[in-house]
């Protein structure tokens, strides 16, 4: 098990690295996070919903992602409630103050079922577990579902990760170990220092001090990697502020309060000629080459934020003078003319009618969206109709709302959830329900080349590799660094009371 001294310490990526290293050694690593809280989701081949970080770990392990790898997923709604996903299926909403009272036993049952499913499917596999947050939150320890309770249940050998970049690494580690119960302390087999800048020898004295004062070996010091890895949560987006050398296009991405599935933008981050500029509603938009409205867990609330901050009018003006806007899932819904919430799924404060509550959209696409309780969850493949036509697309849908055209746009494929319309002075508004659309390299380049043409820039080749292959190369480089800087032997070797 990979534990961390805090959220954001690097557990997800270290777990992915460990999975790739074990795969290289001929093992079958089985990534597993009992409970995750995330708005960055993935849909498996059977339509099960899971956290994207466990999908990434599955790819690192050479396996197809499956919801059993993340049997409990909590998706915050922004009002002290979260949607609860068990084994890929939505089972209700929970208030924070009642979660452990109402959902602890069902959650533990889902975790055990997920373990049984994985171990049944891969009987020779080795579980590689990821913890959540800190394992020693004393007010939560008796009800902890995914850290030390799971480690004790499986007698897992634990690696404790601390992020030195944040400062206070010695206090993080000593404090975490001091708060462990005596029965838990032997589970910790080693310490990993993450995100160290400079030569490793500069930490030799710190390594010796930690080992002397804790009695736990420091198994490695991972360097600060210049590679751009997927963020573990939306807070990590704040670190994406660097200016790319050689960037020729600037694409603004609205950092919505209920931003979700921001991994959709990773392929654009990986484009060397593209600079993504994350903008909060109310901040100056400037004159980017395009604007992306990403996914949202609370579409109507984020729409209200756009309207209240003045960003809605800014976007309409931007399109009127030739701007390019692209909406993904919830962002697509906001671009329409009308959004109806008859069941109150979104907590909408719009005007009431016999058909429920209604909010006006941004009015940039002729779409009407109605929110339904049944969630659309499915893998999709289709041919693109815009820009151009005929390119193969793969991705997944994950949404409550269903949209329909209220007028005839230039291009539409309601089966795929794909709309496009042109405005004044060459402005274009488009969108899709297809998550992962930018992973499709030829389509991504065709869209970017349309932006480049407007700037008088030469087109990029339209035959790049799929982003999945780029992700594979990135995981290999991560594993190379992990193998170079971490001694896994104490973690993998059974102890005196364990079976090999």
pLDDT for 289-329, tens place per residue?
999 999 999 999 999 999 999 999 999 999 999 999 999 99
Query: Would you give the distance in Å from CA 238 to the centre of its chain?
Result: 14
- Distance between first and last Cα of the chain: 17
SS3 101: helix
Least Cα distance to 475 among 15, 10, 11, 38 occurs for: 15
**Residue pLDDT, tens place only, 181-201:** 999 999 999 999 999 998 889
Q: Tell me the two tokens of residue 220.
A: 């490695």
Burial class (CB in 10 A: 0-12, 13-18, 19+), 378: exposed
pLDDT in tens, 43-97: 999 999 999 999 999 999 999 999 999 999 999 987 789 999 999 999 999 999 9
pLDDT at 420: 66
**Of 290, 306, 310, 286, nearest in space to 298 by CA:** 306
| Annotated active-site residue in 329, 399, 400, 485 | 329
Q: Six-digit token pair at 460?
A: 């990029």
* DSSP annotation of 47: S
> DSSP label at 186?
G
Tokens for 373? 């309780």
Domain 249-456 matching CATH 3.40.50.970: the answer reads no
Share of the chain above pLDDT 90, in %: 70
Domain ranges of the chain: 2-228+472-492, 249-456
Task: Please report the pLDDT score of residue 417 as a whole number.
Answer: 56
Tell me how crowded residue 243 is: count the other CB atoms within 10 A of its CB. 7
CA 95 to chain centroid: 23
**Are the C-beta atoms of residues 418 and 386 closer than 8 Å to each other?**
yes
Under DSSP, the state recorded for 482 is H
Pairing of strands 356-360, 351-353: antiparallel
Catalytic hit among 86, 435, 467, 485:
435
Q: CA separation (Å) from 338 to 169, 357, 443, 458, 481?
A: 50, 10, 29, 39, 50
Give the mean pLDDT of 446-460: 96
- Confidence (pTM): 0.89
Q: Is 158 a catalytic residue?
A: no
The answer to whether 485 is a known catalytic residue is no
What are φ and ψ of residue 402, in 5° steps? Answer: -125, 135
Do 249-456 and 2-228+472-492 fall under one CATH topology?
A: yes
Does domain 2-228+472-492 correspond to CATH entry 3.40.50.300? yes
Is 407 within 8 Å of 431 (Cβ atoms)? no
DSSP 3-state assignment of 9?
Answer: coil
- Find the mean pLDDT for residues 12-18: 96
Closest CA to 446 of 461, 434, 428, 431: 461
Annotate 238-268 with DSSP letters as a single string. GG--PPPTT--EEEEEE--TTEE-GGGGHHH
């Amino acid at each position: 098990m990979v534990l961390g001294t805090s959220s954001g310490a690097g557990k997800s990526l270290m777990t992915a690295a460990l999975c790739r290293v074990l795969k290289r050694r001929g093992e079958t690593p089985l990534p597993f996070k009992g409970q995750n809280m995330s708005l960055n989701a993935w849909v498996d081949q059977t339509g099960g919903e899971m956290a994207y970080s466990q999908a990434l770990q599955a790819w690192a392990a050479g396996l197809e992602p499956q919801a059993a790898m993340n049997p409990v997923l909590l998706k915050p709604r922004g009002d002290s409630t979260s949607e609860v996903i068990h084994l890929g299926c939505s089972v209700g909403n929970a208030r924070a103050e009642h979660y452990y009272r109402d959902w602890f036993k069902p959650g533990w049952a889902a975790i055990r079922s997920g373990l049984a499913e994985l171990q049944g499917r891969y009987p020779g596999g080795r579980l590689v577990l990821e913890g959540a947050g800190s394992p020693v939150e004393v007010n939560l320890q008796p009800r902890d579902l995914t850290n030390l309770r799971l480690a004790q249940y499986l007698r897992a050998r634990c690696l404790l990760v601390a992020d030195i970049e944040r400062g206070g690494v010695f206090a993080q580690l000593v404090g975490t170990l001091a708060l462990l119960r005596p029965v838990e302390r032997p589970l910790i087999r080693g310490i990993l220092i993450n995100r160290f800048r400079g030569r490793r020898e500069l930490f030799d004295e710190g390594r010796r001090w930690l080992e002397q004062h804790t009695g736990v070996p420091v198994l490695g010091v991972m360097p600060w990697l210049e590679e751009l890895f997927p963020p573990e949560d939306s807070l990590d987006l704040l670190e994406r502020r660097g200016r790319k050398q050689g960037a020729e296009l600037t694409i603004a991405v609205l950092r919505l309060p209920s931003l979700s599935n921001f991994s959709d933008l990773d392929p654009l981050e990986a484009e060397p000629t593209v600079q993504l500029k994350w903008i909060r509603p109310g901040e100056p938009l400037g004159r980017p080459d395009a604007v992306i409205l990403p996914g949202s867990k609370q579409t109507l609330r984020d729409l209200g934020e756009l309207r209240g901050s003045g960003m809605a009018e800014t976007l309409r003006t931007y399109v009127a003078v030739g701007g390019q806007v692209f909406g993904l899932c919830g962002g697509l819904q906001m671009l329409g003319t009308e959004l109806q919430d008859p069941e109150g799924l979104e907590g909408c404060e719009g005007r009431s009618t016999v058909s429920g509550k209604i909010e006006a959209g941004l009015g940039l696409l002729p779409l009407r969206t109605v929110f339904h309780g049944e969630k659309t969850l499915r893998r999709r493949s289709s041919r693109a109709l815009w820009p151009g036509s005929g390119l193969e697309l793969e991705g997944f849908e994950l949404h409550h709302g269903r949209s329909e055209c209220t007028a005839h746009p230039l291009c539409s494929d309601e089966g795929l959830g794909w709309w496009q319309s042109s405005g004044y002075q060459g402005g274009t508004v488009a969108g899709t329900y297809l998550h992962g659309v930018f992973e499709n390299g030829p389509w991504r380049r065709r869209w970017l080349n349309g932006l480049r043409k407007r700037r008088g820039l030469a087109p990029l080749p339209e035959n790049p590799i799929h982003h999945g292959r780029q992700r594979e190369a990135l995981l290999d480089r991560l594993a190379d660094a992990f193998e170079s800087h971490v001694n896994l032997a104490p973690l993998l070797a059974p102890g005196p009371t364990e079976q090999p």
